[in-house]
């Protein structure tokens, strides 16, 4: 089974020239979903991890499954205003403007080993903000894992340059 074949490409979404890589088709295919989770978990098998952090929203689906497989807790990283308790926040740059990512203050404790999970790494801005948020709380970032890499956008390289180990399952050229 080729995981790439289970990912739908939607041309010109959300704007002209973008090839949107949609994992909802992968998630709907039980074998592809299982294989994705197994492959995301594989680099961490046998390691003692405390938490898996998932970035809203597809990172919740994948990160929750990865956390379950690793017998680790799960940390939801959400957009501003979505979490009900006291939060810590980081603002980060987008192509046009800024956004804010938050987590609960008690989501991670100093020294806990954390893996970041999301569906896709593009420019790396959101992932770097998530890593900043987690490290501000004292987390030790073990690695970041993604189903899809868009290498031309340089996000995985930006994470590696920041000292974060990165694993990805499939790569797509272009945007």
What gap in Å lies between CA 60 and CA 121, rounded to an integer?
Answer: 15
Give, in degrees to the nearest 5, the angle at Cα 103 between 79 and 149.
65
- The mean pLDDT value for 108-136 works out to 97
Q: Is 65 a domain residue?
A: yes
Query: 95 pLDDT exceeds 80?
Result: no
* Structural domain count, the chain: 1
> What element of type H or E holds 122?
none
Q: Is 34 a domain residue?
A: no
User: Catalytic residue positions?
Assistant: 58, 95
- CATH number for 57: 3.40.50.2020
Q: Is 18 a domain residue?
A: no
Q: Supply the pTM of this predicted model.
A: 0.96
Domain hosting residue 122, numbered range? 43-171
**Segment 7-51, tens digit of pLDDT:** 999 999 988 988 999 999 999 999 999 999 999 999 999 999 999
What gap in Å lies between CA 137 and CA 106, rounded to an integer?
Answer: 9
Mean pLDDT of the chain: 96
- Angular region, 66: left φ>0, alpha ψ -120 to 50, beta rest: alpha
**Segment 126-165, tens digit of pLDDT:** 999 999 999 999 999 999 999 999 999 999 999 999 999 9
- Are the CB atoms for 115 and 144 separated by under 8 Å? yes
């Amino acid at each position: 089974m080729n995981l790439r074949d289970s990912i739908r490409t939607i041309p010109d979404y959300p704007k002209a020239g973008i090839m949107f890589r949609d994992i909802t088709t992968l998630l709907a295919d039980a074998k592809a979903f299982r294989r994705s989770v197994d492959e995301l978990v594989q680099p961490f098998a046998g390691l003692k991890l405390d938490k898996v952090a998932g970035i809203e929203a597809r990172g919740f689906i994948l990160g929750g499954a990865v956390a379950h497989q690793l017998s680790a807790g799960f940390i939801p990283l959400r957009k501003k205003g979505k979490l009900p308790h006291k939060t810590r926040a980081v603002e980060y740059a987008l192509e046009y403007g800024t956004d804010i990512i938050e987590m609960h203050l008690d989501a991670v404790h100093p020294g806990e080993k954390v893996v970041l999970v999301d569906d896709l790494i593009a420019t790396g801005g959101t992932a770097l903000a998530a890593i900043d948020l987690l490290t501000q709380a004292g987390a030790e970032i073990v690695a970041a894992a993604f189903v899809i890499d868009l290498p031309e956008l340089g996000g995985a390289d930006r994470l590696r340059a920041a000292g974060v180990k990165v694993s990805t399952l499939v790569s797509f050229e272009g945007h």
